[in-house]
Amino acid sequence: MMRGRSPRRVRYRNRGVSEQQSMSRKNAAGGPRPRPVTAALCGVVAAGAGLAVAEVAGALTKPEATPLLAVGATVIDLVPRPLKELAITLFGTADKAVLLAGMAVVLAAFAGATGVMARSRRPLGDAGIALFGTIGAVAALTRPEGGPLDVLPSVLGAGAAIAVLRLLLRVAPGTPGPAGAASDPDTGGRTEEAETPAPGEFDRRRFVLLASSAAALSAAGGLGARWYASSRLEVARANNAVRLPRPASPAAPLPDEAELDVAGLDPFFTPNDDFYRIDTALSVPQIDATTWRLRIHGRGITEREYTFDDLLNRSDLMERDITLACVSNPVGGSYIGNARWIGVPLAALLQEAGVRPPGDGGPADQLVSRSHDGMSIGTPVADVMDGRDAMLALGMNGRPLPGRHGFPVRMVVPGLYGYVSACKWLVELELTTFDAFDAYWVPRGWAEQAPIKPQSRIDTPHEGGTVEAGTVPVAGVAWAQHVGVQAVELRVDDGPWQEARLAAEDTADTWRQWVFEWEAEPGEHRLTVRTTDRDGQTQTARASNPAPDGATGQHAVDVTVAGR
Ligand SMILES: Nc1nc2c(c(=O)[nH]1)N[C@H]1C(S)=C(S)[C@@H](COP(=O)(O)O)O[C@H]1N2
Ligand SMILES: [Mo]
């Protein structure tokens, strides 16, 4: 077999033979064309190299501007509501990782196809890659925080991918010898049985070595770039340097009985590391608090600017316990958390700037908050100025805001879902009207205004769980922010609603724990919970989706009670 020959000789013969073949069957180096799979592999490796170069370029300039992150962010902005809901239902807060993985799969498929096209015509491959580079560049350029220099990672990446693809295709081994050649339509039937040798072992080895080195270098470069980008401006560092002052208006101490001692029940205060995270930011915005500015402008006021120190040094800082909830939280879901926030009273800040609520003749009924990453959130001016503890939060559970939760400054407004109140990475406040401006989620099918709906949740026993017959503590949380929880009731199977014991109330703006001592009889049982708020409204049993303004329905869990 061919193995017996010296590699060099095989290579030489290989070229000699192919020179007698028609031009259409030659590769750039004059050898036979690589097989489609090989060409596809070349395309994928070239794309990986391009992405890695782009990541390195981004890490050195602006990480959000790399084609992966810029296109990902654009996809997030463009996906229609039903698809986004499905993604949240299926993947929860892992939806971003799934999006990136999905993009990688699509990209690999296109890169493979580009490699195959480039096999017969190199310019087709160049064009395919250029198209991708252009998509990346346009996405980076059109991001809210985008600038002309943001095209750099995409352009450099595309250039690198083209170079790598051309190089790999040049050294790729050609179509295989007799057996393979006969079945390959590209060799056009009149296969030279004896003349076309299988690609030499040397060719193959050289190609495999080159392709795998390129892939390994790309992986190392890409991961290294990511690591460098995240450590370079690590919010945690800036974060540690921030010292939270003592608030002029501290929160009342938590009543002892506000927290029940039941295993499996969510803690009253959600630790920062466990706090749910919902946002459209593919990478956490890295903001330097020392250069951060908040601009306030719009109808009826003169523009003002605040620095982080301006806010930190105010004499009216307040500390409040507020439960934050996401409109996408399904009944029984976990997109809700409770924290002790420190911040600037928003109403006071707005008054200083000359804002009057609409009821007082003010020309603006909507306060639009904008974030560093281009999010816009619309909140009724009337709500933030009606005396509730709306704030520009600087601290969360005794620490500066974590990067994921909006460092250095975010909004928190008791009683309104996060997407209409809780802007993270805040940089701008604009006084306008609901008629004049639609915030980010409104054209995407979510309600313009969305107070949090009263809800209750069973934390323990959990769905599908098994408990021993006897006294079983059934426990959970209930919330009716800014109104307060009046009662929680539990129903076993189709039995009567029975009142649960409520933990002491912290404030009307926080959730409230509850427990019901259940005398559990062996068998399969369904437990259902409902709450009634202090206005006397009982949570409806009618189930509805989160969209457009929050899910309704009652949380139920099915449990098995084992006999003794
Ligand atoms: N900049 C920015 N702020 C944002 C969002 C976002 O996507 N971007 N999402 C909002 C939504 S939908 C919710 S529910 C809360 C969640 O805050 P958390 O992630 O700190 O829990 O942030 C709000 N603030
Ligand atoms: Mo949300």
* Å from CA of 278 to ligand 2 middle: 6
Taking ligand 2, which is a single-atom ion, which protein residues have CB atoms under 5 Å away? 278, 326, 418-419
Which of 414, 438, 452, 449 is CA-nearest to residue 328? 452
> Would you say the C-alpha torsion 377, 379, 385, 387 has a positive or negative sign?
negative
* Pocket lined around ligand 1, Cβ cut-off 6 Å: 275-281, 324, 326, 371, 373, 375, 405, 418-419, 422-425
User: Ligand 1, closest atom to CA 278?
Assistant: 19
Q: At 201, list the tokens.
A: 């072992």
What is the reported pLDDT for 563? 86
Using CA atoms, how far apart are residues 367 and 467, in angstroms rounded to an integer? 49
CB-CB contact of 339 with 401 (8 Å): no
What is the reported pLDDT for 425? 97
* Å from CA of 435 to ligand 1 middle: 23
Ligand nearest to the CA of 339: 1
What is the reported pLDDT for 392? 98
Question: Average pLDDT for consecutive 10-residue bins of the chain (564 residues)?
Answer: 36 35 42 85 95 92 87 87 80 81 91 93 94 94 85 96 94 62 39 47 86 94 87 61 91 94 97 94 86 96 96 97 97 97 98 96 98 96 98 96 94 98 98 98 95 98 96 98 97 98 98 98 98 97 95 98 87
Ligand nearest to the CA of 406: 1
DSSP character at residue 544? B
What is the reported pLDDT for 174? 79
DSSP line for 23-64: GGGB-TTSSBPPPHHHHHHHHHHHHHHHHHHHHHHHHHS-GG
What is the reported pLDDT for 180? 38
DSSP character at residue 292? -
Residue 286 Cα to chain centre, angstroms: 15
Ligand nearest to the CA of 337: 1
Which of 279, 336, 416 to mutate for ligand 1's pocket (most ligand atoms within 8 Å of CB)? 279
Residue 212 neighbours by CB distance under 10 Å: 11
Ligand nearest to the CA of 323: 1
* Å from CA of 87 to ligand 2 middle: 14
> Would you say the C-alpha torsion 349, 485, 512, 479 has a positive or negative sign?
negative
- Residue nearest atom 1 of ligand 1, based on CA coordinates: 424
Residue 487 neighbours by CB distance under 10 Å: 18
Q: At 520, list the tokens.
A: 């559990």
**Residue 44 burial by CB count (10 A; 0-12/13-18/19+): exposed, middle or buried?**
buried
In the chain the domains, ranked by start, together with CATH numbers, are 7-230 (no CATH), 272-444 (3.90.420.10), 455-562 (2.60.40.650)
* Å from CA of 457 to ligand 2 middle: 18
